[in-house]
Amino acid sequence: MDIKVNVREAQGDTYVVDLNGEIDVYTSPKVKDAIGDLIDKGHYNLVINLEKVRYIDSTGLGVLIGGLKRVREHGGTVNLVCTNPQIKKIFDITGLVKIFGIYDDEDAAMKALV
C-alpha cells in the first residue's frame, strides 16, 4: 500500500520515472514531487513507467495530468508505459487515452518521445 518512485536519466534529455506500488490520495504527493522536481530542473520529456503500478485513483491521474500540463507549456510531453488491464481501463473510461501517449513497453514510449 505504498509507492516506490525511481527516477532515471535516459537517452537525449529524457527521463524515466519508475513507479512501483499503489497511487492514491496518500501516496500521490510523493509522485507529484518527483515529477515536479524533474520539471523544475528543466526536463520536459518524460516517460512514466506504470508497469509495476497495481492501483491508481483520480488523485494519481490528477498528478499525471498536472505533469503533462506543465511540460506542454515548454513544448515537452509525458508518455506512459502501462500494461495492467484494470489501469488501462481507467485511462479508457476517463478519456485520458486521448491525452496521453500510452505504450506497452518502455522502448515504444521512448521512441515516441524523441
* Site residues for another protein per CB under 8 A: 1, 22, 24-26, 55, 57-59, 61-62, 65-66, 68-69, 72, 85-86, 89-90, 93-96, 98-99
What's the CA gap between 57 and 102, in Å, rounded? 17
In whole angstroms, how close is the CB of 9 to another protein at the nearest point?
25
- Cβ proximity of 30 and 2 under 8 Å: no
In whole angstroms, how close is the CB of 28 to another protein at the nearest point?
9
* CB closer to another protein out of 10 and 70: 70
Choose among 110, 63, 58, 46: nearest CA to 87: 58
